[in-house]
């Protein structure tokens, strides 16, 4: 079976996630960057880079794409486009990522080095957890949520869809009967 892979986005987020994505592919399988600004195939950090239409045109039995775009609204639109085009949304995690028991993680997660997901956590689709971030026990993380580096999300916290939690943020724990709930204000 001929499989190809791509990291959608070749800016900082994508270039940081490419080495993690590369860990997941077998020898001989091909991985690309997708950058919609390109009109011809190019090289970025030693990887082939193409636009989305060029990627779709590549003959393959299976296509898998990690969306590495920080803007959650764009990430959602790209996820919908990939699904409509029959392309798999790909999850990648660093070898140093720790995932505890009874965790559910939606498709398209990007888990950077030294991320920890505690027990009994539910994570929505296309979650980005950057370097040294953690989600502790009994949290519920919505779809298209982004954790910048070193976010500390303590137990019994609920985070709504499209939330962006900034670098070094500490989310104090809730309780089982009264979880701390973060609400998203629209930008």
Give the end-to-end CA distance of the chain in Å, rounded to a whole number. 44
CA triple 143-149-155, angle to 5 deg: 60
Residue 45 CA neighbour count, 13 Å, CB half: 16
Measure the CA–CA gap between 26 and 12, rounded to whole angstroms: 24
The tokens of 27 are what? 């020898």
**Selected catalytic residue, list 137, 158, 162, 186:** 137
- Longest CA–CA separation in the chain, Å: 55
Residue 162 bears catalytic tag = no
Measure the CA–CA gap between 47 and 5, rounded to whole angstroms: 11
The tokens of 52 are what? 């989305």
Catalytic residues: 137
């Amino acid at each position: 079976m001929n499989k190809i892979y791509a990291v959608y986005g070749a800016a900082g987020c994508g270039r940081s996630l490419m080495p993690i994505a590369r860990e997941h592919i077998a020898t001989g399988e091909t991985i690309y960057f997708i950058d919609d600004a390109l009109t011809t195939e190019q090289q970025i950090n030693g990887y082939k880079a193409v636009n989305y239409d060029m990627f779709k045109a590549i003959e393959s039995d299976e296509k898998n794409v990690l969306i590495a775009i920080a803007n959650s609204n764009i990430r959602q639109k790209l996820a919908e486009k990939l699904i409509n085009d029959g392309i798999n949304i790909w999850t990648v995690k660093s070898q140093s990522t720790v995932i505890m028991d009874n965790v559910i993680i939606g498709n398209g997660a990007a888990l950077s080095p030294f991320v920890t997901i505690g027990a009994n956590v539910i994570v929505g689709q296309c979650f980005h957890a950057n370097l040294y971030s953690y989600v502790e026990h009994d949290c519920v993380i919505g779809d298209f949520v982004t954790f910048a580096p070193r976010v500390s999300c303590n137990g019994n916290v609920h985070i709504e869809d499209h939330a962006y939690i900034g670098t070094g943020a500490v989310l104090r724990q809730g309780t089982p009967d009264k979880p701390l709930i973060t609400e998203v204000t629209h930008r």
